[in-house]
Amino acid sequence: MVRPQELSPRARAKADQIREGAQRVFLKRGFAGTSTDMIAAEAGVSKQTLYAYYPSKETLLVEVLRHLIHEDPQNRLPELEEMRLDTQEGLRSALDSLAKELIARLMQPDYLALIRVVIAETPRLPQVGYLFRSAVPEQLLGNVVRVLNSARANGVIGEINTDAASRMFMGALLTYAIPDGLLVGDRPPSPPPTQRIEEIVDLLMKTIS
Amino acid sequence: MVRPQELSPRARAKADQIREGAQRVFLKRGFAGTSTDMIAAEAGVSKQTLYAYYPSKETLLVEVLRHLIHEDPQNRLPELEEMRLDTQEGLRSALDSLAKELIARLMQPDYLALIRVVIAETPRLPQVGYLFRSAVPEQLLGNVVRVLNSARANGVIGEINTDAASRMFMGALLTYAIPDGLLVGDRPPSPPPTQRIEEIVDLLMKTIS
DNA sequence: CCATAATAGAACTGTACTGTTCAGTTTCGC
DNA sequence: GCGAAACTGAACAGTACAGTTCTATTATGG
């Protein structure tokens, strides 16, 4: 069922076209709110073709989410390779830009829609929950822990619990993203002003120094 | 539509009976996964009676959520009145028990189910999102801010940004509750060991001292 | 004990949706 | 250009479900 290597380029393109159409509708209306007729229309494809590529609406949702989570470059986690973590100011600036980048992505309507669908469908499709969990929160936390460990190894910060500190940092951002993004249904999400984010970074720096 | 004051005790009881049955089914199967036949059967009531009290399935969901969020004593936020916030140890113990209490409630299957339904239905029923937001995260954050402000006024902690500190505290707990609760669909949620929670409290104490 | 209101049970309407099928058309490799 | 494969559009089968309506039964209050 649409494993890349076993498809001709033409078939690959059709499968992508269908998946992209499905993605637009799923993210706008959720799984239950989307019919296969809508998907076919949005993808510009007949329902017969849709079912030739994907055996069910559920499979199609899993493919959409798998692609969004694992392959869509727009959802790639911010990279931190080039950061200079050998001074306090380098670390602060790394955390600051990471936080701002994260909030910006997290509060995109499409990303919030993805999270909503994942959370809503996890009881029925547990694999979707694991997929998302291993691709996003675990990677993010791991990244921050690595940054802090590296700064600690460089003697930039004290001997603190880097796991707990990472959770405080990431979690504080969630306290903005959840109420002002996920729990707002009739207006666009309202990201916090950069000053709020800088307060978090400041306090974290104070914590770990 | 079931405003308490305009109902006889008998009618009030029936309305509650229906709402309680609906709650069980909605929390177990979500909104889309629940039929009005299921609700009527679960509540031990005919569909005719159901529609005599609630004009639609959607209304019934809103009533269920409103009750869970605003009136169900099981979902009341932990109280902090009696805490002694005039010493470091008092503050630590207050934060410690608050965190443990919160994690325990947050990771109950029924509470996770409530959150899932709220998040899933917020785009279609924005009032549900606002209801939850104002009843839970805002209250919780406000409570923690008040605790910290009071401790700061008592000279127990330094001149720190109590809003940012509260967000770090609450948020860190979310980094456990979301991946190990909301994003797990086929197993019971796995709360973190108390040691993890104490690490958060320790680091927060370090931050604010 | 009776008149009235509340409820049960069950059938029914209309709609919407998933997945299939079929007849005809387009596209592609060669 | 031709034969095969891919595709369209539309209809269709089967199911599920929200909400209504009917008739019969049960509880309630005076």
Q: pLDDT, tens digit, for every residue of B25-53?
A: 999 999 999 999 999 999 999 999 999 99
Reply yes or no on whether the pLDDT at A6 is more than 90. Answer: no
Q: Give me the pLDDT at residue A8, please.
A: 77
Q: What is the pLDDT of residues A123-137, one digit of tens each?
A: 999 999 999 999 999
Q: Give me the pLDDT at residue A80, please.
A: 65
Q: What is the pLDDT of residues B168-196, one digit of tens each?
A: 999 999 999 999 999 999 999 999 999 99
Q: Give me the pLDDT at residue B7, please.
A: 73
Nearest CB to A171 within list B115, B173, B202: B173
Distance from C-alpha of B15 to C-alpha of B4, rounded to nearest angstrom = 9
Nearest CB to A203 within list B123, B164, B202: B164
CA of A82 to nearest chain B CA: how many angstroms apart?
Answer: 26
As given in the structure block, the two tokens for residue B172 are: 């860190």
Reply yes or no on whether the pLDDT at B83 is more than 80. Answer: no
Q: Give me the pLDDT at residue B1, please.
A: 44
Coil/strand/helix, residue A176:
helix
Q: What is the pLDDT of residues B97-115, one digit of tens each?
A: 999 999 999 999 999 999 9
The residues of A between 21 and 50 with beta carbon within 7 Å of nucleic strand C are 34-37, 47-48
A11 CA: nearest nucleotide by C1': D6
Q: What is the mean pLDDT of residues A45-50?
A: 97
Distance from C-alpha of A96 to C-alpha of A87, rounded to nearest angstrom = 14
Distance from C-alpha of B110 to C-alpha of B119, rounded to nearest angstrom = 14
Q: Please compute, for residue A199, the number of CA atoms within 13 A of its CA located in the half-sphere on the CB side.
A: 17
Q: Give me the pLDDT at residue A81, please.
A: 62
Contact with chain A for residue B69, Cβ under 8 A:
no
Q: Give me the pLDDT at residue A148, please.
A: 94
B35 CA: nearest nucleotide by C1': D17
Closest CA to B200 of B100, B80, B78, B81: B100
Distant-in-sequence, close-in-space partners of B100: CB < 8 Å, separation ≥ 6: B194, B197
- DSSP conformational letter for B4: G
Q: Give me the pLDDT at residue A2, please.
A: 44
Higher pLDDT, A106 or A77: A106
Q: Decide: CB of B6 under 7 A of nucleic strand C.
A: no
> Cβ(A36)–Cβ(A50) under 8 Å?
yes
Contact A203 B204 (CB under 8 A): no
- C1' of C17 to CA of A30 (Å): 15
Contact B200 A172 (CB under 8 A): no
Contact B207 A202 (CB under 8 A): no
Contacts of the segment B26-33: beta carbons below 8 A, 24+ positions apart = B26/B61, B26/B64, B26/B117, B27/B110, B27/B113, B27/B114, B27/B117, B28/B113, B30/A120, B30/A123, B30/B113, B30/B116, B30/B117, B30/B120, B31/B57, B31/B61, B31/B117, B31/B120, B31/B121, B32/A32, B33/A124
Closest CA to A178 of B157, B15, B173, B56: B173
Q: Decide: CB of A35 under 7 A of nucleic strand D.
A: no
- C1' of C10 to CA of B14 (Å): 21
Distance from C-alpha of B88 to C-alpha of A185, rounded to nearest angstrom = 41
Domains of chain A in start order, with CATH, are: 4-71 (1.10.10.60), 73-208 (1.10.357.10)
Average pLDDT value for chain B: 92
Q: What is the mean pLDDT of residues B137-156?
A: 93
Using the CB atoms, write b or e for A114-147: b if 16+ within 10 Å. Answer: bbbbbbbbbbbbeebbbbbbebbbeebbebbbeb
Contact with chain A for residue B137, Cβ under 8 A:
yes
Reply yes or no on whether the pLDDT at B78 is more than 90. Answer: no
Q: Which of A10-24, A74-88, A189-203 has the lowest mean pLDDT?
A: A74-88
Q: Kindly report the CA angle at A182 between A18 and B119, in degrees rounded to 5?
A: 80
Contact with chain B for residue A137, Cβ under 8 A:
yes
Q: What is the pLDDT of residues A55-103, one digit of tens each?
A: 999 999 999 999 998 888 777 777 766 677 889 999 999 999 999 999 9
Q: Which of A122, A166, A167 should one mutate to test binding to chain B, selecting the residue with the greatest count of B CBs within 10 A?
A: A167
Distant-in-sequence, close-in-space partners of B97: CB < 8 Å, separation ≥ 6: B78
As given in the structure block, the two tokens for residue A54 are: 């994907």
Contact with chain B for residue A30, Cβ under 8 A:
yes
Distant-in-sequence, close-in-space partners of A196: CB < 8 Å, separation ≥ 6: A176, B164
Nearest CB to A164 within list B125, B128, B203: B203
Contact with chain B for residue A123, Cβ under 8 A:
yes
> Cβ(A181)–Cβ(A112) under 8 Å?
yes
| B5 band by pLDDT with thresholds 50, 70 and 90 | low
Contact with chain A for residue B161, Cβ under 8 A:
yes
Average pLDDT value for chain A: 92
Q: What is the mean pLDDT of residues A158-171?
A: 97
What CA–CA distances, in Å, run from A80 to A85, A93, A151, B67, B184?
10, 11, 13, 46, 29
Contacts of the segment B51-59: beta carbons below 8 A, 24+ positions apart = B53/B1, B53/B2, B53/B11, B53/B14, B53/B15, B53/B18, B54/B1, B54/B2, B54/B15, B54/B18, B55/B1, B57/B31, B58/B125, B59/B1
Task: Count each helix (H run) and each strand (E run) in chain A, helices first.
Answer: 10, 0
Q: Give me the pLDDT at residue A206, please.
A: 95
The residues of B between 35 and 94 with beta carbon within 7 Å of nucleic strand C are 44-49, 52
Distance from C-alpha of A134 to C-alpha of A137, rounded to nearest angstrom = 7
